[in-house]
Amino acid sequence: MTASLLTPLTADGAESKIKALEQLIATSSTNMVELTSERTFMMLGSPTFTRLSGDTKKQCEAVIPAFEELFGMITLMQTQVDKAKAIMANLPRIAGREAKLLEVTTLLSEIKLPPVAVPLEKRGLLTGAELTQTVSADRLLEAMATSFTEANQLIFKIKGAWATLNGKVSKHEDDLKALQQEALGLGCNTPELDEAERALAAVRSAINGDPLSADGNFEAQVVPVIEACRTRLAQLKALKSQVVSQLAEAEQALAHLKTTHASSLQAVEERKIKLTIDHEDQLTMPLDDKVIEQLATWLERLKTTVGDGKYQAASVGLVNWTAQVINRTSSASSAFQANDALLRERRDMRGLIEALKVRASAEGMAEDATLAAMFAKVSQLLYSRPTPMTEARRLVKEYQDKVLK
């Protein structure tokens, strides 16, 4: 469209056209500024898009530069509208009025675009190094509207993809952090959690770089790993609870062993003071103190194993330790019982001869010199230290037989 083919606007028509274009320019400018202020747009990194990759980068390279050129187009249009307004402000009343209105009409109808460099390989003989084009305001506005729409749709498509995919990743990252805290509390190493963390980091990187091509099905790979971690931690938690109970029982078992061991030592000491027996070496003897010390040291090592989060190893170790303690406690108990039985036997023989003496007296044998001598002899033996048990048993039996004959 050339100036010679344009029909000049009337003054009122020109004023109306100026107002309409100013309104379009104002609305366009507002929308464009708002879109460029959108956080997603700023994250794209125009014009290089270095943070992007793949299909997202290709689409941005194809759409965003054209959108950003709209600011220049708006400036061109505003410049021509301003020129038209200046002419209208000084519009002649008669002479030259038609020519000025035609000039205004041209300014409002045809936009002269910036020169475009023409590569040598595309020039003809009469083609210059730069090409200057003029386009109608309506066509320019239509093209600008198309560029804006394409950019707007692309930006919000990227925003939606980022929001959806990063939302999923964030949820699983939160789950992962909770599991890591649980693992930390259990004091255990969980390589599965490290694997899940690496997988999520890779997904996050892919989403940030190319959200339009990112695999939305990444959960199929990540979720099973996280769930496996959750299951393992639940098992470890149950195992830890079991091991803690085992440790408490082990402490009690060790304390019982120490008490039993002390009782056996005391019984042996008392037995050695109060009586003698034949074949003393055949008696069950108390444990060596070193056995108790070794078991106590072993238990401390198992506590350290628990502290290191090695619950399975600790559980197995506690089972073996407990078996040893049960065996040693049985030995200590046998030593106590064997020696205490001799002491009880000595006490029982004392009671028996006193009862026999009472019976002998009741049956009129109180003046029996032989019985009296036998009682004196066995009594002296049972109340002396150490009492020879073999001799004491013989004398008690003889005295009993004599009284009960």
Crossing angle for the helix pair 137-186 and 219-274, nearest 10 degrees?
Answer: 10
* pLDDT for position 79: 92
Q: Which residue, 176, 182, 178, 177, is CA-closest to 309?
A: 182
Q: With 60 as the cut, is the pLDDT of residue 349 above it?
A: yes
Asked whether the beta carbons of 187 and 307 are under 8 A apart, the reply is: yes
**Secondary structure (3-state) at 50:** coil
Overall pTM surpassing 0.85 (yes/no) = no
Give residue-wise pLDDT tens across range 30-89.
Answer: 999 999 999 999 999 888 899 999 999 999 999 999 999 999 999 999 999 999 999 989
pLDDT recorded at residue 184: 84
Tokens 């200046």 sit on residue: 86
- The length of the chain, given as a count of residues: 405
Give CA–CA dist 339/271, Å, rounded.
Answer: 6
Burial of residue 226 (number of CB atoms within 10 Å: 0-12, 13-18, 19+): buried
Unique residue bearing structure tokens 């190493």: 189
pLDDT digits (tens, 9 = 90+) for 176-191: 889 888 888 887 777 8
pLDDT of 1 strictly over 50: no
For 289-330, write each residue's pLDDT tens digit. Answer: 999 999 999 999 999 998 888 889 999 999 999 999 999 999
Please determine, for residue 252, whether its predicted confidence score (pLDDT) is greater than 80: yes
Q: What's the rounded mean pLDDT across residues 137-144?
A: 89
What is the pLDDT, as a whole number, of residue 195?
83
Task: Report the chain's mean pLDDT, rounded to a whole number.
Answer: 90
> b/e per residue, 158-169, with b = 16+ CB within 10 A?
bbebbeebbebb
Q: In which band, very low, low, confident or very high, does the pLDDT at 3 lie, cut at 50, 70 and 90?
A: very low
Is the confidence at residue 95, as pLDDT, over 80?
yes
Residue 371 pLDDT greater than 90, yes or no: yes
Bond from prior residue into 386 cis (ω within 30 degrees of 0):
yes
Coil/strand/helix, residue 288: coil
- Of 215, 25, 199, 12, nearest to 105 by C-alpha is 12
pLDDT tops 70 at residue 145: yes
pLDDT at position 357 is 93
Residue type (1 letter), 292: I
Question: Per-residue pLDDT averaged across 103-109, rounded?
Answer: 89
Both tokens assigned to 255: 């304390």
Give yes or no for residue 281 having a pLDDT over 90: no
What is the CA angle 365-372-378, rounded to 5? 130
If you search the block for the tokens 């007296």, which residue do you land on?
A: 361
Percent of the chain scoring above 90 in pLDDT: 60
Q: How far is CA 270 from CA 251, 258, 276, in A?
A: 29, 18, 11
Crossing angle, helix 97-109 and helix 11-37, to 10 degrees?
20
Chain-centroid distance of CA 262 in Å reads 49
What radius of gyration, in Å, describes the C-alpha atoms of the chain? 53
How far is 295 from 277, CA to CA, in rounded Å? 32
Higher pLDDT, 278 or 215: 278
What confidence score (pLDDT) does residue 2 get? 45
Q: What is the pLDDT of residues 119-128, one digit of tens each?
A: 888 888 878 8
